[in-house]
Structure 1
Amino acid sequence: MTATAAQASETKESTEAVDKSNPRVREMFRQIAPRYDKMNHVLSLNIDKYWRAQAVKRLRMVPGHPILDTCTGTGDLAIAISAKADPSVEVVGSDFCHAMLEIAREKRNPAKSSSRIDFLEADSQSLPFSDDTFQCVTVAFGLRNVADTDKGLQEMARVCLPGGQVMVLEFSTPRTIGLKQAYGFYFRNVLPRIGQWFARNDKSAYEYLPESVGQFPDGQALADRMTAAGLIDVKFKPLTFGVATIYEGTKPGELPAPGIQTPGIQS
């Protein structure tokens, strides 16, 4: 890790006050689940759909090996992956919030998916899969909600096939002067009020959002954590002036030939 990245990461962690314990986060998302999709589209001006499409476009999908989307929430990324994957590719979406998964299952539309898609309840810090199972392991706007970021990344790397791809899509902080200040004002003052009006929950979910983003490592700091988790060739691409960022890493080794059965999926 570079000195600058280490300092940035240390600063964020040393001031961390956000409660990301499993019970708190699970309950918060249970409460906002019924309006989660609508809120996301409104608060992001529908740009979240573009971000997910860009993530899917960068996946190196091959026939015959499954794909895992962790912290899948209501399943948007898993469903988007399934729509583009080869019919021989099973897509699995996992999340530890039952209420979110129920919505994901309702949204699943076999007519619009080219491959099979399943959703199961699982903690991203302890995934119920064998080592070396999935050709791609993804997470969209969920890694910052995992209590132990490094454990979450280690689990993603563990279940990824050698030669496979680990991808993180997450909010980040713009660096451009002016935009950074405007973005910060929107996140701290506007977004929580609109989100609270939509959600009507008592856990301040949309006050949690700017806090969790502000205290989460981004840019090179998160790339360094992916490298520490055992990934190589880690790179990142900012989207929409740095409001979101796609991070990609590869698990060392060579991807098995398409069609070779990989064990470890429990549905």
Structure 2
Amino acid sequence: MTVVPYKDNSASKKEQVSTMFDNISGKYDLLNRLLSGGIDIYWRKRAIALLKPEKPQLILDIATGTGDLAVEAHRQLKPKKIIGVDISEGMLAQGREKMKKLGLEEQIELQMGDSEKLLFDDNTFDAVIVSFGVRNFENLLKGLTDMFRVTKPGGTCVIVEFSKPSSFPMKQLYAFYSNTVLPAIGRLISKDQSAYSYLPESVQAFPDGKDFLTIFEQAGFQQTQCKKLTFGICSIYTGKK
């Protein structure tokens, strides 16, 4: 079953996700910090640190949003160039403002782009990175396959995504928080009635852990690994081309 933000809407998941992020873009960073207690910053740091030995010079940040992962990649890796793509113009506008304030407009270029139909040549990027984006793909395998296509041979893909804790009591606590507290705060601050109900629903429906690695490998990636963080609330997946 495909989980979508606006259940009464007949638009495709891709269109609905784009609309949702346009709607919440102004409050997105604030809500991220608030709802995760700031731990999302730590998750991104851990993910990018995995690329340090490889010193990638050209990096693609998929579903870049407001560019937080791209900024972290620049801070740790100092590559020549990072290109961020996203389907939400609202999120990109927030991201461009952020790059301007940080003086990173030359190093980090943000552009409209469909993660499942990337407008880049085969074998272009040393690394492809994603944080909390693959869950929103309309077709997960198609999106991952296109990410594989644009990665250079020997290059690495790093994906940060929510996952489902499986041990007591974290499983029960997380379920209560994500189904009750998170949607209430999200609705209050973002004024979007559906966006923060969609988030836990999309996490629940997402094939995490070994199930994700199976699809990751179907897309072509090898030497795949899954590293669980914070009692299994978040996972970092890595794969090589």
Do Structure 1 and Structure 2 share a fold, with TM-score over 0.5?
yes
**Structure 1 unmatched ranges of 5 or more:** 1-15, 252-267
1:145-156 to 2 correspondence within 5 Å?
145-156=136-147
TM-score (norm 1): 0.84
Change (3 A) 1:225 1:41: same
Give me the whole-angstrom Cα distance separating, in 2, the residues matched to 1:115 and 1:61. 24
Give me the whole-angstrom Cα distance separating, in 2, the residues matched to 1:242 and 1:128. 34
Change (3 A) 1:67 1:209: same
1:54 aligned partner: 46
1:241-252 to 2 correspondence within 5 Å?
241-251=231-241
Give me the whole-angstrom Cα distance separating, in 1, the residues matched to 2:145 and 2:75. 27
Q: CA deviation at 1:146?
A: 0.8
Q: Which has the larger radius of gyration?
A: 1
1:116-155 to 2 correspondence within 5 Å?
116-155=107-146
Give the secondary structure class of the aligned counterpart of 1:55.
helix
Give me the whole-angstrom Cα distance separating, in 1, the residues matched to 2:62 and 2:53. 17
1:18 aligned partner: 3
Change (3 A) 1:126 1:223: same
Change (3 A) 1:110 1:132: farther
**Structure 2 unmatched ranges of 5 or more:** 5-11
Change (3 A) 1:216 1:153: same
Q: CA deviation at 1:31?
A: 0.4
1:204-223 to 2 correspondence within 5 Å?
204-223=194-213
CA contact (8 A) 2:56 2:126 kept: no
Q: Which runs of 4+ in 1 moved over 4 A?
A: 60-64, 109-115
CA contact (8 A) 2:56 2:127 kept: no
1:1-267 to 2 correspondence within 5 Å?
16-19=1-4, 21-60=13-52, 62=54, 65-86=57-78, 89-109=80-100, 116-202=107-193, 204-251=194-241
Deviation string 1:95-143 (CA, Å, 9 cap, x unpaired) is 0100100111110158665981100100000000000000100110010
Deviation string 1:168-206 (CA, Å, 9 cap, x unpaired) is 10000111121101101111111000110010024x000
Q: CA deviation at 1:247?
A: 0.2
Change (3 A) 1:197 1:231: same
Give the secondary structure class of the aligned counterpart of 1:78.
helix
Q: CA RMSD in A?
A: 1.8
| Percent identity of equivalent pairs | 41
1:13 aligned partner: none
CA contact (8 A) 1:62 1:86 kept: no
Deviation string 1:200-248 (CA, Å, 9 cap, x unpaired) is 024x000000000000000011011111100100001001111000000
CA contact (8 A) 1:82 1:114 kept: no
Q: CA deviation at 1:85?
A: 2.5
Structure 2 residue identity aligned to 1:42: L
Change (3 A) 1:110 1:201: closer
Q: CA deviation at 1:86?
A: 3.1
Give me the whole-angstrom Cα distance separating, in 2, the residues matched to 1:138 and 1:66. 11
Structure 1 residue identity aligned to 2:126: Q
TM-score (norm 2): 0.92
